[in-house]
Amino acid sequence: ASTLGASAAQTGRYFGTAVAASRLGDATYVGILNREFNMVTPENEMKIDATEPSQGRFSYSNADRIVNHARSQGMRVRGHTLAWHSQQPEWMRYMEGSSLRQAMLNHVTQVASYYRGKIYAWDVVNEAFEDGSSGARRNSNLQRTGNDWIEAAFRAARAADSNAKLCYNDYNIDNWSHAKTQAVYRMVQDFKSRGVPIDCVGFQAHFNSGNPVPSNYHTTLQNFANLGVDVQITELDIEGSGSSQAQQYQGVTQACLAVSRCNGITVWGIRDSDSWRASGTPLLFDNYGNKKAAYTSVLNVL
Ligand code: XIL
């Protein structure tokens, strides 16, 4: 097939992108979005600060613009994200203890209920583990409510929407030999053994020269899949340019295709100029919306 989405669909997968509501008036952006992609992740619009700006008052207008656009085009939606230490609204940031636990669970319940039936997969919990060699949980206000906060969030999400796949999402868990990868693996293994409702693991996949695509990526994805969860590449971007960047994009694509439970790939933006990265050219389309070598290298193997 001649587009990313249609090609991915040939093997039952999807190809998605992060979308910013503020760019939905940009004709070049929307043209590429509608042509190439069949899954959408709101880049910021479903985060806690966006959906619950003051406690108990929910705001869905920007997220709805993206969801409605996606649905009108026959695209599915990955929800991102229900519980996270970052992009918390001011009122939540300084909360601790049982009041925070309650507020977090209420947030999960309200947002997942509001979008029930419209979400393919939720990133229920994002980035809960520490970087480096400790394998520990990240110290955050949510973590300080008790080590069981993650499973509590997953149970609340399942109760609110029994059809969405429920994912744990993180970065730097791509290399099988890293402590963080092992720690997340053990958590998923534990959740599966105790019946905590988890369906998938999202690999953000933000790569650069200091954090390159690992040669054991396929092993990582397969090992997680062997626990009985789906795996998804959720926020792919790769610093660089030309054939080096193209090869790395192709490697990530092939790693996913080699794992039957790898459902799909989402890139974190459309054109280089849409990237959250302050500088560089990490995406599949250049600033003018032209296809880069990386685009072709992905399409060629899908
Ligand atoms: C980023 C967005 O792209 C930016 O627009 C925002 O300013 C900060 O967050 N990991 C995640 C995403 O899970 O939510 C982040 O998105 C990128 C890193």
How much distance in Å is there from the Cα of 87 to the middle of ligand 1? 9
Question: 278 or 120: which carries more pLDDT confidence?
Answer: 120
Q: Among 52, 130, 235, 239, which one carries the catalytic annotation?
A: 235
Q: Which amino acid is at 84?
A: W
Q: Among 36, 43, 45, 127, which one carries the catalytic annotation?
A: 127
Residue of 19, 234, 268 best suited for mutating to test ligand 1, as the one with most atoms within 8 Å of CB: 268
DSSP letter for 227, please.
T
Is 52 a known active-site residue?
A: no
Average confidence (pLDDT) over 30-45: 98
DSSP letter for 141, please.
T
265-277 residue pLDDT tens: 999 999 999 999 9
- Indicate if the pLDDT at residue 1 is higher than 90: yes
| Alpha helices, DSSP H, located in the chain | 4-9, 27-36, 48-51, 61-72, 90-93, 97-114, 149-160, 179-194, 217-225, 242-257, 293-301
Is 43 a known active-site residue?
A: no
> For the purposes of burial, counting CB atoms within 10 Å of the CB of 117, is it exposed (0-12), middle (13-18) or buried (19 or more)?
exposed
Tell whether pTM > 0.95. Answer: yes
Looking at this predicted complex, what is its ipTM? Answer: 0.99
Q: What is the mean pLDDT of the chain?
A: 98
**Which residues lie with the beta carbon below 6 Å from any ligand 1 atom?**
43-44, 126, 204, 235, 276
> For the purposes of burial, counting CB atoms within 10 Å of the CB of 225, is it exposed (0-12), middle (13-18) or buried (19 or more)?
middle
How much distance in Å is there from the Cα of 83 to the middle of ligand 1? 14
